[in-house]
Amino acid sequence: EKAVTWLQWVDAEIETRIQKMAEGLSQIALKWNEKGSSGQPPILIIIRELADLVTEAREVVTRAIERITKYGGSVGIHLIGATQCPSETTIPEKLRDGSISQFVFQTSSRTESIVTLGIDGAEKLLGVGDGFLRLSGGQSVSRVYIPDL
């Protein structure tokens, strides 16, 4: 319940920042170099279990996350979402398609691999530290290893 409230606040904050940018675009452009962002302090949202949040309040959460992925980066608001249950019911297609970059560790099935990345193969990864990475705007997926996980 608190997480949903926070996401609604972030959604409103995005709108506020967009309006501020529209009102004083030239002033914000000058501040860009000073603060390294849109002139506002950056906000990082970390969702530890996205599946639980989506099942609790699907419409509100999906709308807020869509707006964060679509507009958040331009106003200094960023999101990291994680889940241990990647399925079509817990991660709506709109959220998967809207994410900028994706990192996937080993999945338990081919279906989970396809849900998270759009390709199969994550079910064959070796385990700890072994994963697939799709960067912003990229259609290709790279296999990466993160030691000491």
Render 115-136 in DSSP notation, one character per residue.
HHHSSS-GGGS-STTEEEEE-T
Residue 133: predicted pLDDT: 87
pLDDT (tens digit per residue) in 12-42: 998 888 888 777 665 655 555 455 445 678 8
Kindly report the pTM of this predicted structure.
0.71
**In this predicted structure, what is the pLDDT of residue 33?**
47
Distance CA 80, CA 102 (A): 10
Q: What is the pLDDT of residue 25?
A: 65
pLDDT of residue 108: 87
* Span 108-147, pLDDT tens digits: 889 888 888 888 888 888 888 888 888 876 678 888 888 8
> Chain-wide mean pLDDT for the chain?
80
The CA-CA-CA angle for residues 48, 52, 53, to 5°, reads 80
Identify the CA nearest to 18 among candidates 66, 77, 63, 101: 77
Q: 3-class SS at 81?
A: strand
Render pLDDT for 57-105 as a digit per residue (tens, 0 to 9).
Answer: 888 888 888 888 888 888 888 888 888 877 777 777 766 666 677 888 8
